[in-house]
Amino acid sequence: MSKVIEISGKEFESTVLNSGLPVAVIFYSNDCPICSSVMPVFERLASEFCEKMLFVRVNKDQNHELSKKYHIKASSTIVFFRNGKEFCKTLSGYTRRPELKCVIEDVIGNKCECLERNKTECDVLILGGGPAGLTSAIYAARSKLFTVVVDDSMVGGQVASTYQVANYPGTNGVIRGIDLVNNMKKQAMDFGAQIDDMQDVIQVDFSGEIKKLQTNKTDYYARSVIIATGATPRKLNIEGEETFAGKGVHYCATCDGAFYYDANVIVVGGGDAAVEEAIFLTRFAKKVTVVHRRDHFTATKSSQEELLKNPSIEILFNTEVKAINGKDFVTGVTLMDNKTNEAYEMDTDGIFIYIGMQPQSNLFKGQIEIDDYGYIITDENLQTSVKGVFAAGDVRRKEVRQITTAVGDGSVAAIMAGRFLAAYGV
């Protein structure tokens, strides 16, 4: 019999926070390869230590609020509790038995209580591990500058979830997004860059000569900073969108499209991402309906041509999604014809939303100059309004946002950061 208890967010306080024993909680997702590897280790150690520790598992996708509260960014993530509070270190991603057993023994032995915060000093601190951040790391580390990349998730950015990158020079259109960024990551680390992913950034301070960044466990002190935090999918902000996130509402067809084999799905948007992902979804879904509020697409002509000739795709121009409906999962949407103002219902098994991106810049408001849309303003050398702080990639204000422009930004930002440091004798 398994010694691991499955609970929901409603049972978390009574089971975990009020437990008389220390507790290990693993947050997992269905169909997660990493979880499939870690869970048997977690189960076996639960049998070994069940008299001294409670072992619990929580489905991250079915308990969004709880996952958000404890900053769970990836599956699997193991969080430890003692006397109702988080205790000791958090383990994310692939976790080997010796590492997990060591932390369990420390929690049971109450050895983590007085752990001091880590302190890291560096020449170049890069915030964000997408193509812009990793390229900056390659250039900076190769220049013999001590370089640290901090990311609040797994490194890779949006590209990591792209099925195939067809227009990156030198790849012949046959490279997966995850393979491309993993190559960048390895190259940066081979040059000596330090990658600190899965970090929750609490605050930054760019006011002094030495820039400061604080995460839950580490204080970073940097002589220069490159902001490459990228952008995230923009939300429709309509009824049902948040309720059904992960339960029929998606922002990545590559990640979730396979769940919709032989189903009917809707894609919202009219740009390159919407058109390309609609085409991709026809690998699984029997019908894809593209809903766009305008009377024409803004995607490239080649993408539009491929979309229009696909018999599995239907297009609704001059139409908006006003609500997402369902009970436990999405069952349909409320649409409105912009020309007649007529609202009507449409059944669907899922909805994929591609209406633009939101720059991840809130952390820097009040510290550097940001435009009305949230994009960081830089000069031609990618320096922000604060000397020694640069910005690269999708987070900065510019006209074109592609992987190639991101890596171009990354190289320029790193070179200019190096010149800035050289002027101060670093």
Give backbone dihedrals phi and psi of 336, rounded to 5 degrees, phi first. Answer: -135, 130
Q: What is the CA radius of gyration of the chain?
A: 23
Q: What pLDDT is attached to residue 114?
A: 44
Token readout for 179 is 């393979």
Residue 13 has pLDDT above 90, yes or no: yes
Q: Which of 145-149, 331-335, 355-359 is predicted with the least confidence, judged by mean pLDDT?
A: 355-359
| Interatomic CA distance for residues 311 and 326, integer angstroms | 28
Residue 68 binned pLDDT confidence (cut-offs 50, 70, 90): confident
Residue 176: CB atoms within 10 A of its CB come to 16
Neighbour-count burial of 2, counting CB atoms closer than 10 A to its CB (0-12 exposed, 13-18 middle, 19+ buried): exposed
pLDDT greater than 90 at residue 95: no
Decide which of 23 and 356 is more confident. 23
Tokens of 97: 């038995």
Per-residue pLDDT averaged across 364-383, rounded?
95
pLDDT value at 70 more than 50: yes
Residue 97 vs residues 40, 68, 73, 91, 136: alpha-carbon distances, Å: 10, 26, 21, 12, 34
Distance CA 418, CA 276 (A): 38
Residues 113, 357: Cα–Cα separation, whole Å:
41
What's the pLDDT at 247? 85
The residues that are catalytic are: 252, 255-256
Torsion of CA 311, 312, 318, 322, to 10 degrees: 170
Tell whether the model's pLDDT for residue 236 goes beyond 80.
yes
Percent of the chain with pLDDT over 70: 97
Q: Is the pTM of this model over 0.85?
A: no
- Quick: pLDDT tens for 96-132: 788 899 899 999 998 875 445 788 999 999 999 999 9
Residue 7 one-letter amino acid = I
Residue 249's beta-bridge partner residues? 245, 351
CA distance 30 to 60: 9
Whether residue 202 has pLDDT greater than 50: yes
155 pLDDT above the threshold of 50 = yes
- The more confident residue out of 51 and 153 is 51
* C-alpha torsion angle, residues 231, 237, 239, 240 (rounded to 10): 0
The residues near 265 (Cβ < 8 Å, ≥ 6 apart) are 281, 285, 287, 288, 289, 348, 349, 350, 351, 352
Q: What is the C-alpha to C-alpha distance for residues 133 and 149, in angstroms, rounded to an integer? A: 7
Strands 194-196 vs 147-150: parallel, antiparallel or unpaired: parallel
Cβ neighbors of 356 (< 8 A, separation 6 or more) are: 233, 234, 269, 271
Contacts of residue 46, Cβ cutoff 8 Å, sequence gap at least 6 = 2, 3, 4, 24, 53, 55
CB 326 within 8 A of CB 244: yes
What is the pLDDT of the chain when averaged over all its residues? 90
DSSP secondary-structure letter at 165?
B
Domains and CATH numbers, the chain: 4-108 (3.40.30.10), 118-232+357-422 (3.50.50.60), 249-353 (3.50.50.60)
> For 117, how many CA atoms within 13 A lie in the half-sphere containing its CB?
10
Residue 425, pLDDT score? 62
- What b/e sequence results for 61-91 when a residue is b if at least 16 CB atoms lie within 10 Å of its CB, and e otherwise? bebbebbeebebbbbbbbbbbbeeeebbbbb
Residue 40: count of CB within 10 angstroms of its CB:
10
In tens, the pLDDT along 168-200 reads 898 876 788 888 999 999 999 999 999 998 787
Q: What is the pLDDT of residues 15-62, one digit of tens each?
A: 999 999 999 999 998 877 778 878 999 999 999 999 999 999 999 888
